[in-house]
Amino acid sequence: MAARTDPTAWFRDPGGRSVPTLTRGQWREVTRVADADTGPSTRQTIEVAGFQVALAALDMLGPRAPESRPIVLAGPGGTGAVGVAAARYLANRGIEVVVVTARRPAEAAGPLGQQLVVLGETPARVLPFSAAFDVATFDLVIDAVLGRGIEGAPRIAAMGLVRATGAATGPVLSVDVPSGIDPDNGEAPGAVVRPARTLALGLPAQGLIGADAGEVWLADIGWPTGVYARAGVVVPRLFGTTASVRLRAPRGAAD
């Protein structure tokens, strides 16, 4: 797979360095290399990503965090698992967090099921998507419904969670990409989340360029530069001594 070399299609970090984006295909290849060949495993990556999302949530809540009530809207896949992991880190800090899942907790398997089992050891509340809830009563909405694997419009349960974010009175934090946005072209084939902040994981999705994604931040999830290189992507050292950085839009994209 050829490396991306066009800097006009890249974000910029605070120091002005180019930050390459990933297409859906490149993201899947990086994920495959990490999980099957080199590590870190998917489970390890979800843990790190969940912690990063929790840090972003605490930053957005600010001094009010200990008394705040965030809600996590968790989809059926890996992004949902990241959201559930984030909920655990928040609950461990005494924050009253609620998780609403697009898949009934008893039916969840794979990474999402694993994360829900661990979350069960905390005081966090877990509700199925069919339960009554009102995002307007929460101080922060964490959108972990859909990730980069989306193709086409969201399915019914996920669609309901995406639409629910429209009633939020507090800020919305999207995990990796705003749910409903195509990760390659930024188009929205159905309902879409409009966040105050998007926390991209590893490298930003190509579709974030010019998308209505709020502030775009990039979080380190532990993938080494060699993993990206195996997938044909050249990545500079982006994070220095920080866990995440705010990105600037590429030239020609909307601010």
C-alpha closest to that of 21 among 197, 233, 179: 233
| Residue 199, beta-bridge partner list | 175, 217
Q: Is 254 domain-assigned?
A: no
Give me the pLDDT at residue 2, please. Answer: 34
> Got the DSSP string for 52-121?
HHHHHHHHHHGGGGGG--EEEEE-SSHHHHHHHHHHHHHHTTT---EEEESS-GGG--HHHHHHHHHHTT
- Distance, CA of 171 to CA of 233 (rounded, Å): 33
Q: Is 5 domain-assigned?
A: no
Give me the pLDDT at residue 136, please. Answer: 96
Give me the pLDDT at residue 27, please. Answer: 95
pLDDT in tens, 115-144: 999 999 999 999 999 898 999 999 999 999
Q: What amino acid is encoded at 208 in this protein?
A: L
Q: Is 2 domain-assigned?
A: no
With bands split at pLDDT 50, 70 and 90, how would you rate the model's confidence at 180? Answer: very high
Percent of the chain past pLDDT 70, that is, above it, reads 93
Q: Is 179 domain-assigned?
A: yes
- pTM strictly above 0.85: yes
Task: Assign residue 79 the CATH number of its domain.
Answer: 3.40.50.10260
Mean pLDDT of the chain: 91
Give me the pLDDT at residue 157, please. Answer: 87
pLDDT in tens, 65-96: 999 999 999 999 999 999 999 999 999 999 99
pLDDT in tens, 28-58: 999 999 999 999 999 999 999 999 999 999 9
- Distance, CA of 91 to CA of 149 (rounded, Å): 28
Domain count, the chain: 1
Q: Is 147 domain-assigned?
A: yes
Query: Three-class SS of residue 95?
Result: coil
- Distance, CA of 242 to CA of 73 (rounded, Å): 27
Given a contact cutoff of 8 angstroms between Cβ atoms, the answer to whether 19 and 203 are in contact is yes
Give me the pLDDT at residue 105, please. Answer: 83
Q: Is 142 domain-assigned?
A: yes
Q: Is 91 domain-assigned?
A: yes
Give me the pLDDT at residue 106, please. Answer: 83
φ, ψ at 206 (rounded to 5°): -60, -35
Give me the pLDDT at residue 63, please. Answer: 97
DSSP H/E element including 246: strand 244-246
Query: Three-class SS of residue 227?
Result: helix
- Distance, CA of 80 to CA of 126 (rounded, Å): 13
Domain range holding 77? 13-246
More confident residue, 212 or 150: 212
Judge whether residue 152 has pLDDT over 70.
no
Q: Is 7 domain-assigned?
A: no
C-alpha closest to that of 128 among 162, 165, 155, 103: 103
> Got the DSSP string for 47-63?
HHHHHHHHHHHHHHHGG
pLDDT in tens, 190-233: 889 999 999 999 999 999 998 999 999 999 999 999 999 999 99
- Distance, CA of 205 to CA of 116 (rounded, Å): 27
